[in-house]
Amino acid sequence: MTTQDTVKQHSSFSFAGKVRDYMALIKFSLSFMVVFSSVISYLLAPTVVQLNWSMVILLFVAGMLITGSANAVNQVVEKDTDAMMKRTAKRPVASGRMSTAEGWAFAIITLAIGLGILGWFFNILSAVVALVSWFIYAFMYTPLKKVSSVAVLLGAVPGALPCLIGWAAGEDKLSAGGWVLFAIQFFWQFPHFWAIAWLAHKDYSNAGFKLLPSTEGPGKFSAIQSIVYSLVLIPIGVLPYLANISGMVSLWIIFAANLFMVWQSIRLYREMEAKAARRVMFSSYIYLPIVFLAMLADKL
Q: Which among 137, 154, 173 is the end of a domain?
A: 173
Gap between the Cα atoms of 17 and 279, Å rounded? 32
211 and 169 inside one domain: no
Domains identified in the chain, total number:
2
Task: State residue 11's pLDDT score.
Answer: 42
Task: State residue 7's pLDDT score.
Answer: 36
141 and 21 inside one domain: yes
131 and 219 inside one domain: no
Gap between the Cα atoms of 33 and 64, Å rounded? 10
Q: Which among 150, 173, 196 is the end of a domain?
A: 173
Burial class (CB in 10 A: 0-12, 13-18, 19+), 54: exposed
93 and 105 inside one domain: yes
Gap between the Cα atoms of 55 and 169, Å rounded? 10
85 and 220 inside one domain: no
Nearest to 256 by CA among 219, 282, 294, 205: 294
Gap between the Cα atoms of 153 and 151, Å rounded? 5
What CATH number has the domain bearing residue 13?
1.10.357.140
Stated as kind and residue range, the H or E segment containing 192 is: helix 176-199
Stated as kind and residue range, the H or E segment containing 243 is: none
Q: Quote the crossing angle between the two packed helices 176-199 and 28-44, to the nearest 10°.
A: 160
Q: What is the pTM of this model?
A: 0.89
Task: State residue 231's pLDDT score.
Answer: 96
Nearest to 176 by CA among 242, 130, 220, 231: 242
135 and 35 inside one domain: yes
114 and 225 inside one domain: no
Task: State residue 8's pLDDT score.
Answer: 41
Strand positions, DSSP E, 178-286: none
Gap between the Cα atoms of 14 and 172, Å rounded? 43
Are 66 and 115 within 8 A, CB to CB? yes
Determine the number of helices (DSSP H) and then strands (DSSP E) in the chain.
15, 0
Task: State residue 163's pLDDT score.
Answer: 96
23 and 166 inside one domain: yes
123 and 227 inside one domain: no
Are 139 and 145 within 8 A, CB to CB? no
Q: Would you give per-residue pLDDT tens digits along the chain (300 residues)?
A: 444 444 344 444 577 888 888 888 888 888 888 899 999 999 999 999 888 999 999 999 999 999 999 999 999 988 888 888 877 888 889 888 989 999 999 999 999 999 999 999 999 999 999 999 999 998 988 788 777 778 888 889 999 999 999 999 999 999 999 999 999 999 999 998 888 888 877 777 777 776 666 666 677 888 898 999 999 999 999 999 999 998 999 999 999 999 999 999 999 999 989 899 999 999 999 999 999 999 999 887
Gap between the Cα atoms of 275 and 153, Å rounded? 25
96 and 196 inside one domain: no
Task: State residue 296's pLDDT score.
Answer: 94
Q: Which among 173, 194, 211 is the end of a domain?
A: 173
What CATH number has the domain bearing residue 200?
1.20.120
150 and 185 inside one domain: no
Stated as kind and residue range, the H or E segment containing 16 is: helix 3-25
159 and 206 inside one domain: no
CA triple 240-62-75, angle to 5 deg = 100
- Residue 3: which domain range? 1-173
Q: How far is CA 24 from CA 75, 92, 172, 203, 244, in A?
A: 10, 7, 33, 19, 39
